[in-house]
Amino acid sequence: MRFGRLGMLVVFAAFFAVIVGSGVALAAATDSLVTNGSPPSPFPQNKQNEPAVAVNPTDTNVLVAGSNDEIDLAPCNGNSCPFTPGVGVSGVYFSFDGGKSWTQPTYTGYSARDGSPGPGPIGTLPKYYENGLVSDGDPAIAFGPKPGPNGSFSWSNGVRLYYSNLTANFSAQRSEQAFKGSEAIAVSRTDNLQAAAAGDNNAWMAPVIVSKQNAALFSDKDQIWADNAATSPYFGNVYVCNVAFRSKGGTPEPVIFSRSTDGGSTWTNRQLTAATNNTQTGGRQGCTVRTDSKGTVYVFYEGSLKGHSVQYMVRSFDGGKTFERPRPVANVVDVGAQDPASGDFTFDGVAGARTNSFPSVDIANGAPSGKDASNTIALLWPDARNGLNHEQDLLELSNNGGQSFTQPVNVAQSGDRPDFPAVALSPDGTDLYMTYDAFLDPYRQTTSTPRRFQGVVRHADLNGIQLGAVSTVYRGAVGDARSSSANSLTTEFLGDYNYIAATRDGATAVFNDARNGAVCPAVNTYRQSLANGDTSATPPAPGTDCPPNFGNTDIYSATTADPTP
C-alpha cells in the first residue's frame, strides 16, 4: 500500500496496529520449484537448503537465487554419505518472469554425479575448480550497478550480480593452495545474466577471495550487499560481513567487515567486534548488512551482553571506512532445545533441525533511484521468550536511522511455530513482507511421530513505523522435517535461514521445503538410538534401507503481488 508521507514526526512509543490474520490469502501467490535441476534421488544429490534471493532493482522481473545444493556429490556408498572432496555446493538459479519459473543452469567443473569424481557437469558456481577452489555454500546474493570504463557507477552501465559464499582449497597440498586457512569468503560476479542462466562458464568472472586469511582461520556465515540507491554518495560500493573463527576450536569469533569500491575486484577488511573468548563473553553470529538512501552502512548480528543474547547494530557514515561502537537494539531469548544426540539447539525435536535466532534486516532505501526512500529499518528474529512450543517472530522498526526502535511485536500467524524467518520492505517503505517455515507440531521427544512444516509468506501495509494488519498471503505444501538429513544421517538438516526480496509491486520468498521428501523409518530408529545414548548404533544405508526420495529437501519460491496496491 502506498501512502503520502507524514508531515510530522512519528512518536517512537507509538503502538503497532497489528492484527494477526486468519491465514486466508489476500492475493494469489505463485508457487514454484527453484531447484528444478536437482534430482529427487539419490541422497545426498537431492538435498538443498539455506536459500538466498535478490531482485534486479532496474528490472524487477529478474531474480537470482542461491542455495546449498549437493547435486554434484557422489551418491551414498552404503551408509557413508560424505561431502565429496573437491565438489562444490553453491547452487545458482535464475528467473526472468518475476519468480514464476526458474532455471538451474549446467556448467562444467569438478563433479561426482556419476560416482567418479573428475571434470564434468555441475549445477553450482563455475570457475572454482579452474582456480584451485571449491564453492562451499552459505550463499548470499546482491545486485549493484556495473562500473563504467572510468570506474564510476551508474545504472545506465547495466547491473552486476554478486554472489558470496564460503570457499575451500581444492588441493590439500599447501604449495598448491589458493589461500591460507581452512575456509575463506569468495565473491563471484557476472554482468551477463542471460548467458549465465544459459550455462556459459565465461559469463562469470573468476571468484575473488574477500577475507584476509591466516593458517588458523575458518571464515563463516557471510552476507553481501551492494549500495544500490543512486542518491547515496557511496553508490556502487559492495560490502560483505562474516564471522571469523580464529582457531580450530572455533573461538574467538569476531565479526569482520569487507568493502569494495571497484565492483568487487579488490577488498579491504576491518574487524567490527572484539575478539574475545566465547566461553567468557558469548559468541557472535548471524551478521547481515544493509544501506539506506544516504549511504549509511548498517551491520546487525546476534551477540551476548552480560550473559544474555541480544541483537547488535553498528553503523558507518563514511561508506564503510570507519564504524561506531556496536550497541544492543533488541533482547533475544534463543529458540530451540539442546539435542542430546548432536549437542545443537534443535527446533522440532530430538535429532531434529538445528536452529538459531539470527537477525534478518531490510531497509526501504528507494532503490534504484533512492528518491522515494522512507529509510525505515525492519529487524526480525525468532524468539522463545514465551517458552518452547510458543515461539514468535519478533519485529522492531526504526525510522530515525536506528537511533531507537519500536517495542518488539510478534508477526507470525497464531498457531505457527515460526523458524528461519526473513523480512523484506518495498523500496518506498509502504509494504512489509516476511517468510518463515511454520512448524505445526510441538517439540518431539522421540523420532516416531510427524514433524510437519510448511513455507509461509505474510504481508502488512506500513506507514513509517506504523504497521497495519498482518495477514498470510501464502501457505505452502506440508512436509515432514524427518525426511531431511545431515550427510552423517545422525540428525535432520534444514540449514540456518530462508530469504525474501520485495519490490514496489510485490515480493518473492525462497524457503526450505520437504513436500517431496520421504521419511525413512530405519533412519528414525538410528537417530533415536543416538538420542538415547547408544553410540554403538549403526547407521542404515539410504540407497537400500530408505525410500528413494529420502533426504529430498527442495527450495521453493512463493511470489505474491502487493495485496493492497
Which CATH number goes with the domain that contains 128? Answer: 2.120.10.10
Closest of 483, 406, 533, 416 to residue 44, by C-alpha: 483
Mean pLDDT of 167-192: 92
Position 33 confidence tier, pLDDT thresholds 50, 70, 90: very high
How confident is the model at residue 174, as a pLDDT? 75
How many other C-beta atoms are found inside a 10 Å radius of the C-beta of residue 146? 18
138 part of a folded domain = yes
305 part of a folded domain = yes
How confident is the model at residue 281, as a pLDDT? 55
Mean pLDDT of 363-373: 98
27 part of a folded domain = no
Who wins on pLDDT, 431 or 19?
Answer: 431
Backbone angles phi, psi at 453, to 5 degrees: -150, 160
- Is a pLDDT exceeding 50 seen at residue 20? no
- Is a pLDDT exceeding 50 seen at residue 501? yes
- Percent of all residues in the chain with a pLDDT value above 70, rounded to a whole number: 93
Mean pLDDT of 344-349: 97
Q: How many residues does the chain have?
A: 565
Mean pLDDT of 263-284: 81
How confident is the model at residue 224, as a pLDDT? 98
124 part of a folded domain = yes
How confident is the model at residue 327, as a pLDDT? 97
- Is a pLDDT exceeding 50 seen at residue 4? no
162 part of a folded domain = yes
Measured distance CA(558)–CA(378) in Å, rounded = 21
How confident is the model at residue 251, as a pLDDT? 64
Measured distance CA(556)–CA(513) in Å, rounded = 6
465: its cell numbers: 513505523
Position 253 confidence tier, pLDDT thresholds 50, 70, 90: confident
7 part of a folded domain = no
280-304 confidence digits (pLDDT tens): 556 788 999 999 999 999 999 999 9
523 part of a folded domain = yes
487 part of a folded domain = yes
For 276, the domain range is 39-561
Position 24 confidence tier, pLDDT thresholds 50, 70, 90: very low
- Is a pLDDT exceeding 50 seen at residue 7? no
The total domain count for the chain is 1
- Is a pLDDT exceeding 70 seen at residue 11? no
Mean pLDDT of 406-413: 98
